[in-house]
Amino acid sequence: MTFKVKKFVNKPFIDHRGYYWTSWEEKSFKNIKFKHDKFSLSKKNVLRGLHGDDKTWKLVSCPYGEFLLVVVNCIKKSNDYLKSKSWILSHKNGLQILIPPNFANGHLCLSDKCLFHYKLSYKGSYLDANKQFSIRWNDPKLKIKWPIKNPILSLRDRKAKFL
């Protein structure tokens, strides 16, 4: 699979006091100018997504807890159209995923609570939820193997269309 998604690992320093890690450094992202950050705090079994748009780069990390991140290629002319990849992100593994435009992403909180963080880069103004696309989390065409049958969903995600 020739996914355009990139993986980074910034191993945290962990000791008896807790943990400390660098979420990003400018030198690693010379061609991407981040404009703002967003955070989402979820409880266990909350699934958010699948959402995306045609212009936003997202650098996703997990400052606290653990979640399953799923990314879907939504570029119709791509050989990998509708193919997905998944990773477990946590504050212990320091894994980060850079998601390009035209890819949908969703995440499932695996720990009692998890903090989802993304840095956003885009041209012009930000495309909020009403200008993003949504795909049903359990769309059979995507063949995503979520480890849950009945996640906690928002109204937006419950009403998302099947492909």
What CATH number does residue 93 fall under? 2.60.120.10
pLDDT for res 2:
55
What percent of the chain is modeled with pLDDT above 70?
A: 98
Q: Which domain does 133 fall in, by range?
A: 6-20+29-158
Residue 1 placed within a domain: no
Average pLDDT over residues 155-163: 97
Residue 163 placed within a domain: no
Give, for 156, the enclosing helix (H) or strand (E): helix 155-158
**pLDDT range class, residue 114, cuts 50, 70, 90:** very high
pLDDT for res 3:
60
- Is pLDDT of 64 > 90? yes
∠ CA 8-9-14, nearest 5°, is 160
Residue 55 placed within a domain: yes
Between 29 and 154, the more confident residue is 154
Mean pLDDT across the chain, nearest whole number? 94
Q: How many domains does the chain have?
A: 1
What percent of the chain is modeled with pLDDT above 90?
A: 79
